[in-house]
Amino acid sequence: MNDINTNDALAFAFSLKRPPAEVAAIVAQLAEPFEEGDVKWKPQTIRSQDGVKKGQAAAYADPRTYIDRLNEVLGAGGWASVAHLNISGPVPKKTSKYGEESKYVDVAKIFSTVSVIIPGIGIHTDVGESWLDDENAGTIAHAQAFKRACMPFGPGRYFYELPKIWHPVNTYGQFTDPGPQLPEWAKPKKLCQDCG
């Protein structure tokens, strides 16, 4: 959907009536954990623990994984998203590293507002942001907003329920192999080879 206004988006969201059992089944399917290979990890906070440099692992998935899940459950025409971009005026951005004297430079920010619409279920809107001095600022802001707008429908919601995982990092701040592992409950259900 391109160039859709708020009234059209709401009309699309409520263009279909679904029984509560169908809504619950769709949301349950959307909320299923992603394939393990689609889950990536990034260190958020890095600190030394017992003489070993470790990073707190944050799980995430590429926006295409969310799109694949929506298409798999609803079909390509069974949902829509609408995005709007805004750019702020200059905002002070901290450029100094930890332990250095604070230094700031004025940089604009880009904000992406994305609405994800599923007829018969609803519409969710969220915002993503990025500093405009990043060459991928628009992509970063849009990806953040899109994934956040999907989350209330179920995709990726379980990332917020994962336990805190601290994993060793190398001198470049990247996780050492093998990287962080998902708990069993956060892995997709597989058919049993014996019983199907």
pLDDT in tens, 31-81: 999 999 999 999 988 888 778 899 999 999 999 999 999 999 999 989 999
How confident is the model at residue 47, as a pLDDT? Answer: 86
- Cβ atoms of 187 and 193 within 8 Å: the answer is no
How confident is the model at residue 187, as a pLDDT? Answer: 94
| Closest C-alpha to 55, from 166, 129, 184 | 166
How confident is the model at residue 1, as a pLDDT? Answer: 42
How confident is the model at residue 140, as a pLDDT? Answer: 95
Residue 15 has pLDDT above 60, yes or no: yes
The percentage of the chain sitting over the pLDDT mark of 70, rounded to a whole number, equals 92
What residues form DSSP beta bridges with 124?
116
Query: Rounded to two decimals, what is the model's pTM?
Result: 0.84
Q: What is the 3-state secondary structure (H, E, C) of the chain?
A: CCCCCHHHHHHHHCCCCCCHHHHHHHHHHHCCCCCHHHEEEEEEEEEEECCEEEEEEEEEECHHHHHHHHHHHHCCCCCEEEEEEEECCCEEEECCCCCCCCCEEEECEEEEEEEEEECCCEEEEEEEEEECCCCCHHHHHHHHHHHHHHHHHCCCHHHHHCCCCEEEECCCCCECCCCCCCCHHHCCCCCCCCCC
- As given in the structure block, the two tokens for residue 114 are 């994305």
Residue 121 has pLDDT above 80, yes or no: yes
pLDDT digit string, tens, across residues 59-69: 999 999 999 99
Choice among 19-28, 61-70, 87-96 with the minimum mean pLDDT: 87-96
Q: What is the 3-state secondary structure (H, E, C) of 117-162?
A: EECCCEEEEEEEEEECCCCCHHHHHHHHHHHHHHHHHCCCHHHHHC
- The CB density around residue 112, as the number of other CB atoms within 10 Å, is 25
Mean pLDDT value across residues 170-186: 90
**What does each C-alpha distance from 65 to 9, 10, 34, 54 come to in angstroms?**
23, 25, 8, 28
- As given in the structure block, the two tokens for residue 26 are 């769709």
- Higher pLDDT pick, 101 / 142: 142
State the Cα–Cα distance between residues 46 and 53, nearest whole angstrom: 7
Choice among 12-16, 37-41, 82-86, 158-162 with the minimum mean pLDDT: 12-16
The percentage of the chain sitting over the pLDDT mark of 90, rounded to a whole number, equals 65
